[in-house]
């Protein structure tokens, strides 16, 4: 059987972890900002609590990703050491296959570790999406509630004006009788409306009192509704901010998933190529071996960079 040169690992894709580092920082900051939100709404308050729980899980899985990336970096070092041994000693046959099996084992571990982390990020994103839908539904409900209360406030104000005009008309009818009557009641506010104190002894006078009081009730309702509207508007403003932040966090997870899924795909590809090139006469020539070593040193450097940068981000920021 003829000898076959192994080129596997010579075209390793170098992972770019710079975007992930920025995403981790962004997510931690956004979770931290949500911790300061306080909304006078039971559902929204519950959603905020759920988001913060996901924030804790995010921090835990990111801490885990640092540890696992350290292990992956070590695996890269082991691959480099073994490829150096293979190329420098022109190893073939059974020993070569045994070393390949070790490399396969490390590659499989990298795949499994990456896949587990990616799955955890995906689950967090899924739960955040569910929370986001609740917030969006509540936001729509609040908008509708504001509209209804605004219409009611306008109606109450208009009714107040109508009752005010009716009351003033009733008072005007009573003016000719003022000189000959005995005061038993005074229309509230009439003195300010007409510049006089109006004594009441007739049914018309009592009706004027009731009309004026209804006017006051309508204006009071309008003011109360306006106060509720302002509170609801504050709720919907904060909901909108929380939705915005939650969407940013979900976007961050998309970036993280892409990175880890890429690692899974690449390592799976390496495993597949190894499985298709198993042969007792497989070997690395020296030139191909150097290319493999150089590429894996770059991969190892990326993992080291990720570990260092993300660890610093975790230390510099904190999350409630």
Task: Mark whether 200 and 177 lie in a shared domain.
Answer: yes
Which SS3 state, helix, strand or coil, does residue 215 take?
A: helix
Number of structural domains the chain divides into: 2
Ramachandran sector of residue 214 (left: φ over 0; alpha: ψ -120 to 50; beta: rest): alpha
Question: Quick one: 251 and 141 in the same domain?
Answer: yes
Helix (H) or strand (E) segment spanning residue 85:
helix 42-88
Query: What's the pLDDT at 29?
Result: 80
pLDDT of 71-84, one tens digit each?
A: 888 888 887 887 78
Contact partners, residue 274, CB within 8 Å, separation at least 6: 8, 100, 103, 104, 107
Per-residue pLDDT at 196: 47
Enumerate residues 6+ apart whose C-beta is below 8 A from 271. 104, 107, 108, 111
Do 281 and 308 sit in the same domain of this protein?
yes
Three-state DSSP class for 74? helix
- The per-residue pLDDT string of the chain (320 residues; one tens digit each, 9 = 90 and over) reads 334 445 544 555 566 666 677 777 778 887 887 888 777 788 888 988 998 898 899 889 888 888 888 888 888 888 788 778 877 777 766 677 677 777 777 777 777 887 788 788 888 888 888 888 888 888 788 778 778 877 877 777 776 677 666 666 665 655 555 444 444 444 454 444 444 444 544 555 566 566 667 667 776 776 776 776 776 677 667 667 767 766 776 776 677 667 667 767 766 665 666 666 655 555 566 666 677 788 788 888 888 888 888 888 888 776 54
DSSP per residue over 123-191, as a string? HHHHHHHHHHHHHHHHHHHHHHHHHHHHHHHHHHHHHHHHHHHHHHHHHHHHGGGGGG---S-B-TTHH
Residue 158 lies in a domain: yes
Tell me: do 114 and 256 sit in the same domain.
yes
Per-residue pLDDT, 53: 93
Burial 50-83 (b: 16+ CB within 10 A, else e): ebbebbeebbebbeebbebbeebbebbbebbebb
Phi-psi category of residue 93: left, alpha or beta, with phi > 0 → left and psi -120 to 50 → alpha: left
Q: Is the distance from CB of 40 to CB of 231 less than 8 angstroms?
A: yes
One domain for residues 298 and 219: no
Q: Is residue 234 part of a domain?
A: no
Tell me if 306 sits within 8 A of 24, measured CB to CB. Answer: no
Note the pLDDT of residue 179.
Answer: 46
Long-range contacts of 207-213 (CB under 8 A, 24+ apart): 207/170, 208/167, 208/170, 208/171, 208/174, 209/185, 211/163, 211/166, 211/167, 211/170, 212/163, 212/164, 212/167, 212/187, 212/188, 213/188
Q: What is the pLDDT of residue 191?
A: 47
pLDDT (tens digit per residue) in 257-294: 676 677 677 666 656 666 666 555 555 666 666 777 88
User: CA 310 from chain center: how many Å?
Assistant: 20
The distance in angstroms from the start CA to the end CA of the chain is 64
Which DSSP helix (H) or strand (E) runs through 8? none
CA-CA-CA-CA torsion for 76, 79, 81, 86, nearest 10 degrees?
-160
In a domain, 9, yes or no: yes
302 & 278 share domain: yes
Domain that holds residue 254: 4-150+244-316
* pLDDT for position 1: 36
Position 236 in a domain: no
Same domain, 146 and 23: yes
Residues 172 and 202 in one domain: yes
Q: Residue 12 in contact with residue 297, Cβ under 8 Å? A: no
Predicted TM-score of the model (pTM): 0.63
């Amino acid at each position: 059987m003829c000898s076959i040169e192994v080129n596997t690992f010579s075209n390793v894709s170098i992972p770019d972890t710079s975007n992930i580092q920025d995403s981790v920082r962004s997510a931690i900051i956004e979770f931290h900002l949500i911790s300061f939100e306080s909304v006078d709404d039971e559902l929204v308050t519950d959603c905020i609590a759920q988001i913060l729980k996901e924030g804790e899980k995010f921090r835990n899985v990111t801490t885990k990703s640092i540890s696992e990336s350290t292990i992956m970096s070590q695996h890269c070092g082991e691959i480099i050491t073994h490829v150096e041994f293979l190329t420098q000693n022109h190893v073939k046959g059974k020993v070569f296959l045994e070393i390949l099996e070790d490399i396969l084992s490390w590659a499989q571990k990298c795949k499994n570790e990456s896949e587990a982390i990616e799955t955890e990020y995906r689950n967090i994103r899924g739960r955040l999406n569910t929370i986001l839908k609740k917030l969006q539904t509540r936001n729509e409900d609040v908008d509708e509630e504001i509209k209804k209360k605004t219409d009611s406030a306008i109606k109450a104000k208009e009714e107040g004006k109508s009752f005010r005009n009716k009351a003033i008309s009733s008072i005007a009818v009573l003016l000719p009788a003022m000189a000959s009557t005995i005061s038993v009641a005074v229309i509230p506010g009439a003195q300010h409306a007409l510049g006089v104190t109006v004594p009441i002894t007739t049914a018309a006078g009592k009706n004027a009192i009731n009309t004026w009081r209804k006017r006051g009730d309508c204006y009071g309702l309008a003011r109360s509704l306006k106060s509720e509207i302002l509170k609801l508007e504050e709720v919907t403003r904060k909901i909108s901010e929380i939705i915005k932040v939650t969407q940013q966090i979900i976007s961050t997870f998309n970036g993280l998933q892409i990175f880890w899924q890429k690692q899974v795909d690449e390592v799976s590809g390496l495993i597949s190529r190894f499985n298709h090139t198993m042969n007792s006469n497989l070997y690395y020539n020296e030139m191909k071996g150097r290319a493999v070593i150089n590429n894996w040193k770059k991969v190892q450097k990326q993992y080291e960079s990720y570990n260092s940068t993300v660890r610093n981000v975790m230390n510099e920021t904190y999350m409630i």
